[in-house]
Amino acid sequence: MRVSLEPPPVYFMHLPKTAGTALGRWLRMGYHRNRYIDLRAEELERLTQADLPRFRCFHAWHLGRGLYDLIGRSDLLCVTMLREPIERAVSAVRHHQRTGQDHPERISPAHLAQMQPWLMADSEACIRAGVADAPLQNAQTRVLGNRRGYAQLFRGAAQPSARTLLFAAYPVLDYPWLDQQTPEDDAGSFQRAQAWLDEMAVVGLTERYAESLLLMGDLLGIPIPAEPPRANINPQRSGPAMRYRDQLAPEVVARLEELNRYDLELYAHATELFEQQWARYRARARRTFSIAAHARQTLRPLKAQIRRIMRTPSKRLAGSP
């Protein structure tokens, strides 16, 4: 067993609609609150580049390798999670629609106007019409293969604001790879994405979520929850085992496969990497144990209970005559 006080520094490369929100929350519980950072493109202006070294857990929301390289830590482990591309694409369409309805401020006005005719439409109709191609076409390849720089978005460099700069290039804040990305660029992105996966400490799969958590927990020494964490779930999804593919017409599936040719290849490569990592884990696990991470998870419920108890007298006093 490898025992350490704190879990090692980690960079979680969160790909859209791969169960990354829940995974990020689990990682956050293992690190000191002042050492965890959510890295969203539009929020980088809250930081300077000099702030980055003090963090130990980086949750990079849909950003490419440029930010990982900017951090510049040789000891920074990188983990990610990929999802079967057809399932991910349908989930992305529905998420894109919900964003337009519930959080229109995250979409540029021009793009939001284009979305209006299909904002409430059936997902299959959107896919047939091609109106949702941008957020679903080879998205995992495009994020992992992105080598864009982010230095201009940090505090002191962002003129005008990061949000204004992003909207000038990206119509949707949740998808910061849409600027100037064309299908012709995907071949190069695929090569870069595949090479980065080969370097990562853990390549997880949404379809093997529980096993992926075991691999990451074994790497970092963070305790695994009894029930896999879930968050940001599509309300139309009846259960974890439900497959979107089974609900689509064959020609719609064929169109998604055409749009996600590189993502399908990348997912196949990720599956090979996962199976290799899983075989090594089963043969000989690292058995890493982080003392602080286990203590935090043990004490967290107790702290929450203490806070509830401390709030109760004040509520009673407030209600007294």
Predicted TM-score (pTM) of the model is: 0.87
pLDDT at 166: 77
pLDDT at 158: 58
Q: Is the pLDDT of residue 32 over 60?
A: yes
pLDDT at 315: 52
Dump pLDDT digits (tens) for 125-143.
999 988 878 778 999 999 9
pLDDT at 319: 54
Asked if the structure places residue 206 within a domain, the reply is yes
Binning pLDDT at 50, 70 and 90, where does residue 150 land?
Answer: confident
Asked if the structure places residue 284 within a domain, the reply is yes
Q: Is the pLDDT of residue 151 over 90?
A: no
Highest mean pLDDT among 87-96, 122-131, 189-198, 298-307: 189-198
Q: Is the pLDDT of residue 101 over 90?
A: yes
Asked if the structure places residue 217 within a domain, the reply is yes
Asked if the structure places residue 254 within a domain, the reply is no
What percent of the chain has pLDDT above 70?
88
pLDDT at 140: 96
Residue of 174 and 18 predicted with greater confidence: 18
Binning pLDDT at 50, 70 and 90, where does residue 318 land?
Answer: low
Asked if the structure places residue 29 within a domain, the reply is yes
The dihedral sign for the CA sequence 138, 66, 71, 38: negative
Task: Give the domain range for residue 164.
Answer: 2-83+138-241+261-318
The terminus-to-terminus CA distance of the chain in angstroms comes to: 59
Task: Output the domain CATH number for residue 226.
Answer: 3.40.50
Dump pLDDT digits (tens) for 273-311.
999 999 999 999 988 999 999 898 888 767 667 777 777
Residue of 47 and 117 predicted with greater confidence: 47
Q: Please name the residues in contact with 273: beta carbons below 8 A apart, sequence gap of 6 or more.
A: 197, 198, 200, 203
pLDDT at 40: 92
Asked if the structure places residue 176 within a domain, the reply is yes
Q: Please name the residues in contact with 178: beta carbons below 8 A apart, sequence gap of 6 or more.
A: 134, 135, 170, 171, 172
Residue 189 · residue 141 · CB < 8 Å: yes
Residue of 320 and 151 predicted with greater confidence: 151
pLDDT at 311: 77
Cα–Cα distance between 296 and 45 in angstroms, integer?
30
Q: Is the pLDDT of residue 61 over 90?
A: yes
Dump pLDDT digits (tens) for 242-275.
789 999 999 999 999 999 999 999 999 999 999 9
pLDDT average, residue stretch 177-203: 87
Binning pLDDT at 50, 70 and 90, where does residue 178 land?
Answer: low
Number of domains in the chain: 1
200 residue type, one letter: M
Q: Average per-residue pLDDT in the chain? A: 87
Asked if the structure places residue 120 within a domain, the reply is no
Least Cα distance to 256 among 96, 85, 98 occurs for 85
Structure tokens at 255: 């169109």
Asked if the structure places residue 123 within a domain, the reply is no
Binning pLDDT at 50, 70 and 90, where does residue 238 land?
Answer: very low
* Exposure of 92 in the CB half-sphere (CA atoms within 13 A): 28
